[in-house]
Amino acid sequence: MFKKVLIANRGEIALRILRACRELEIKTVAIHSEADETAMHVRMADESVCVGPASAQSSYLNIPAIITAATISNVDAIHPGYGFLSENKRFAEIIEEHNIKFIGPKSEHIEMMGNKIAAKKIMEDNKVPTVPGLNDLSDMKKTLDFIDNIKLPVIIKAASGGGGKGMRVVNKIEDLEESINAAKIESKKSFNDDTVYLEKFFVNPKHIEIQILADSNGSVLTLGERDCSIQRKHQKIIEESPSIVLTNVEREKISNLCVKAIKSIKYEGVGTLEFLYENNKFYFMEMNTRLQVEHPVTEMITGQDLVKEQIKVASGNKIKFKQEDINFNGHSIECRINAEHPETFIPSPGKITQYHQPGGLGVRVDSAVYQGYIIPAHYDSMIAKLIVYGENRNECIQKMKRALEEYVIIGIDTNIQLHQKIIQSNEFLSGKYDINYMSKFE
């Protein structure tokens, strides 16, 4: 097992990883920007190193500074968390060149899945259903024929895309050319790659994803699904597991296909296969080769600590349990608490003057904020994840309602009220909501 791990992240996920390390008796090194000197992850780590000024580009994305911090603090592994450098193939490679273990998959797998066209091809080869699409858009006639076949609307997406960037929905054929060009320009700007592809645009799908855990011994397990359809501008807001719309047969079928595909590429670590789900059919969209923000709902219903497992398999340990040992119990929901106005969604950095977080049986708060903490304006507005567990979905929703009522955050705006509205709405209660749910709050 590793002796010392550098956590190349901030906020709640840095703390989440730190807690897992501590339980595994691994020493931790936090990195931080000048704006995060008083942050909780810095206070709690065994050591900390400042890696640059406030902007993420100069600090949490500053590879030379992070490698220097890892070298001087003599760590044997780096955990990237999510976001920042977690899916940066070059970062994973450089780390390994320095004889430091990257807690994540091999760089070749990051590269393979980082290209969504290549990822879809691998899934198709393994009989995983994918979103119908066309990769080569150079021949306009072929493109038009293809659209004629699958029918409008279609969506243009960036092959190297992420965070919802570089996507354009095309409803009218006369907008096609302009949308392709706009998606290319945005993709070049954001990802330095102007490769774009076309997909059928699903009008009312759910976003359902499958959690995978794999070790270097060839063992691949699935930990069920998460329904992440409550999203705004392609950013998830509420996630739950299990999904109320899936039958056991459907769940088992898609999970088995995912396991087979992941085995075929000899993937290691945690990973998530994201699907659109419409009319009882799954369509693979992309794979994330890292820990997801919403991993806690899976932990709550399986009782498995995904971060500890991820660290253990990265250090070369075999997974100690088998698929049949994983029991799915009860229901879990996560609400992402953002520092933003509940109606305008404008970020609200600033000082938290009063803070009280909910508790009680089945209530978990993953956060790095505290009373008196000043939320910097430089980073993501998510400040906490409120995760609840109930024996069934109804109990879970009741518990979330109660926990949200109890949550006091004064001094800044938050989306707590918005969460109250969502979880008590008829669509949410019925479970039949889709990815367009949030458009009514626009």
| Contact positions vs ligand ADP (CB under 6 A) | 131, 155, 161-165, 199-202, 205, 207, 231, 234, 274, 276, 285-286, 435
User: What is the secondary structure of 186-201 as a DSSP string?
Assistant: HHHHHHS---EEEEEP
Rounded to 5 degrees, φ, ψ at 387 are -120, 130
Is residue 290 annotated as a catalytic residue, yes or no?
yes
What are the helix and strand counts (H, E) for the chain?
14, 21
SS3 217: coil
In the block, which residue shows the tokens 């799908």? 205
Whichever of 105 and 205 has its CB closer to ligand ADP, that residue is 205
Whichever of 30 and 287 has its CB closer to ligand ADP, that residue is 287
Q: How would you class 327 by CB atoms within 10 Å of its CB: exposed for 0-12, middle for 13-18, buried for 19 or more? A: exposed
Nearest-angstrom CA–CA distance, 43 and 50: 13
Nearest-angstrom CA–CA distance, 254 and 242: 14
Among the residues of 34-175, which ranges form H helices? 40-44, 63-72, 89-97, 107-114, 116-125, 140-150
Whichever of 169 and 408 has its CB closer to ligand ADP, that residue is 169
Q: Please report how the helices 176-191 and 140-150 are oriented relative to each other, as an axis angle in degrees rounded to 10.
A: 110
Whichever of 65 and 134 has its CB closer to ligand ADP, that residue is 134
Nearest-angstrom CA–CA distance, 90 and 162: 17
The first and second tokens of residue 235, run together, are 């950013």
In 3D space, the residue among 413, 404, 400 whose CA is nearest the CA of residue 343 turns out to be: 413
Catalytic residue among 16, 226, 232, 290: 290
Query: Smallest distance, Å, CB 80 to ligand ADP?
Result: 17
Task: Give the number of residues written for the chain.
Answer: 442
Whichever of 160 and 415 has its CB closer to ligand ADP, that residue is 160
Residues with a known catalytic role: 290
